[in-house]
Structure 1
Amino acid sequence: YNAAFHIPSRRTVTILEETKLWKKVFEETRPRVCLTTDTWTSIQKIHYMFFTAHFIDRNWILHKRIINFFPTSSHKVDKASSNDVTVKEMSKTLRNWGTNIFDGDHIHVRCMTHILNLIVQDWLKEIGKSVKLVRQAVKYIKQSPARNRKFKEYRESELITCKKSLCLDVPTR
């Protein structure tokens, strides 16, 4: 028995084995990798930022792997300016490695869905009072099984064939 020897956990061994596997895949196929960042808030209200690698293997199968994540103060920060700084630093590192394709000119592509979401959020602010009233009505109906049943009865009496139930929107989607 050697007290200085640390036995790794099963999770650590699994991560190390997966890392070795993916390192081998990358050495053999040398795929082009797309790195993305995103943020998420846990149910405990802890904000995280993720770095994800996306690539297509030689069998044309898309892979997506989280390569790092860390807690952050808030995901409501201006991600565009922090992304610009990150891309600039990453471009410098890639240039030092001799692997900076297109001299870093096309290394950063803005997230189109994020841009569209910002446009829609601005539009929703313009019609905010109406949206607020619809949200209140949905909440009111969904708070009571009796109200929900009555709503379904009205829907059927109006010959509305859609069977989906009411749901509240998710502002970030």
Structure 2
Amino acid sequence: MDILMYYAKERDHIKEELAKAPSLICLASDSLNSEHTNDEYIYITVHWVDKHWKLQKRIIRFRALSPPITLGNASYNNVMVSFLKYCFRVNRALLCDGVCFQVRCCEHILNLIVKVCLELVDDVVGKILNEIKYIKKLRIC
């Protein structure tokens, strides 16, 4: 089967699944950076719960970005989020006035917290390791 035909078939299948979804659908965006070429990509994932109460997720858009752009927890994303909320309000497609429109990435936040904590305890851990080495040397003598 030709790759374009396969793509069209999968796209139509996902559209049908989303049309039948008994729950709301959620969109998430993220970016990826190639270490070898420094190219940056953005992708959009759709999440929903199907009729069997199973969480489903599919990447529905993947695109190369010419200038580097990220959509993580950075504060400069607020401009984009404000624009998107405005567009959805105009089309009356924004639930609860957008209170839960932007959900910060918990994994990213936890990663930042752990990094800061590890930096804070690095000196203490180093001292403890030196004490352990000292005690081990005393036992040998």
Scaled by the length of structure 1, the TM-score of the pair is 0.59
Structure 2: tracts of 5 or more residues without a match:
127-141
Q: How many pairs does the alignment contain?
A: 124
Q: Structure 1 vs Structure 2: percent identity of aligned residues?
A: 30
Task: Tell whether the 8 Å contact from 2:31 to 2:42 is kept in structure 1 after alignment.
Answer: yes
Structure 1: tracts of 5 or more residues without a match:
1-8, 133-173
Residue of structure 2 aligned with 1:123, choices 100, 110, 117: 117
- Residues 1:12 and 1:76: Cα distance change in structure 2 (over 3 Å): closer
Matches of residues 1-173 of structure 1 in structure 2 within 5 Å? Answer: 10-29=2-21, 31-44=23-36, 45-72=38-65, 73-74=67-68, 79-128=73-122
* CA distance in 1: counterparts of 2:31 and 2:109, whole angstroms: 15
Q: CA-to-partner distance for each residue in 1:58-91, whole Å, 9 max, x for gaps? A: 1112111112233344477874224322322221
Task: Tell whether the 8 Å contact from 1:52 to 1:68 is kept in structure 2 after alignment.
Answer: yes
Question: Aligned-pair distance for 1:56?
Answer: 0.9
* CA distance in 2: counterparts of 1:126 and 1:82, whole angstroms: 27
Q: CA-to-partner distance for each residue in 1:89-118, whole Å, 9 max, x for gaps? A: 221222122121001122111111211111
Structure with larger RCO (C-alpha < 8 A, sep 6+): 2
* CA distance in 2: counterparts of 1:62 and 1:43, whole angstroms: 31
Report the aligned-residue RMSD: 2.9
Scaled by the length of structure 2, the TM-score of the pair is 0.70
Task: Tell whether the 8 Å contact from 1:41 to 1:75 is kept in structure 2 after alignment.
Answer: no
